[in-house]
Structure 1
């Protein structure tokens, strides 16, 4: 039986790993350029779903239009990640500060996830029925692999220190 805390903990672990991945990308990228995330999704769509040139152009336009909305959220997550790291390394635990920052990060992550879902919905709307079916199969396989991974107790692994 799944405990009532297991699902929220899995969601939190996934959200934190996604935020760390986004924040690490943005911190490491010179000039604050947006790489990965939605733009990476376009590359996947183009290759895996055999997008037409017109579909790719429309998707690029959507991503370019949404970049100013997404980029500040990613930067906020990166700043929060750095602040959390400082709190963790302070030598004394300040629960109130950690909780406040975690709450703030949670709100930012929620907004980022909502925006990403909205953008993905716009991108999926451009697909043909065959492309949508192929994408649905891929996402079902990915979800099954993730579920199996979580059931094996492997959870979400932390990044290596030098990454």
Structure 2
């Protein structure tokens, strides 16, 4: 039983360190907010979810208006969830700055964030479904083709990167 407790402590510690280090690492990367005046990759953030994917679909003015309403509604619905999640994560970070690792507090705070993350994910899925409902069948087909092209380009990029890494080693 004692061994399981140590394993649990190590697993929670590792998860906590990963959760705390990830935002800092991301902020330092090219895709983060650091040095970009608040803009993030491709305009996908700050209420513009999915807009980049719909850019080349020649949306009508009515569709653009509907999409904007969907995004605004999403932002209103999720704003409090995002704030709560940020608060919980800040509390977790502050608790860890005290020096020691409090497993019970860390587990409690992480458990409090899980339902918030689930609600946010559900809202993102709802936004995606509602956005797709605005599109015509032709636009949906075109969007699917664009996604396939992007997927192929991503695979090519991965292959090139793997090839370069193999050459270096």
Q: TM-score range by the shorter chain?
A: 0.5 to 0.7
- Taking a change above 3 Å as real, the CA distance of residues 58 and 96 of structure 1, as seen in their structure-2 partners, is same
- Taking a change above 3 Å as real, the CA distance of residues 60 and 95 of structure 1, as seen in their structure-2 partners, is same
- Taking a change above 3 Å as real, the CA distance of residues 104 and 140 of structure 1, as seen in their structure-2 partners, is farther
Q: Number of residue pairs matched? A: 126
- The structure with more radius of gyration: 2
Which residue matches 1:54? 62
Which residue matches 2:110? 102
TM-score by length of 1: 0.60
Q: Deviations over 1:133-152 (max 9, x none)?
A: 33334445667849x69xx8
Equivalent runs, 1:35-50 vs 2, <5 Å: 37=45, 39-50=47-58
Cα distance in 2, alignment partners of residues 72 and 38 from structure 1: 14
Kindly indicate whether the alpha-carbon contact (under 8 Å) linking 2:47 and 2:72 is maintained by their aligned counterparts in 1: no
Kindly indicate whether the alpha-carbon contact (under 8 Å) linking 1:84 and 1:98 is maintained by their aligned counterparts in 2: yes
Equivalent residue of 2:49, what SS?
helix
TM-score by length of 2: 0.58
- Taking a change above 3 Å as real, the CA distance of residues 114 and 86 of structure 1, as seen in their structure-2 partners, is same
Tell me: higher relative CO, structure 1 or 2? Use CA pairs within 8 A at least 6 residues apart.
1
Q: What are the ranges of 5 or more consecutive residues in structure 1 without an aligned counterpart?
A: 1-8, 30-34, 153-163
Kindly indicate whether the alpha-carbon contact (under 8 Å) linking 1:38 and 1:63 is maintained by their aligned counterparts in 2: no
Question: Over aligned residue pairs, what C-alpha RMSD do you find?
Answer: 3.7
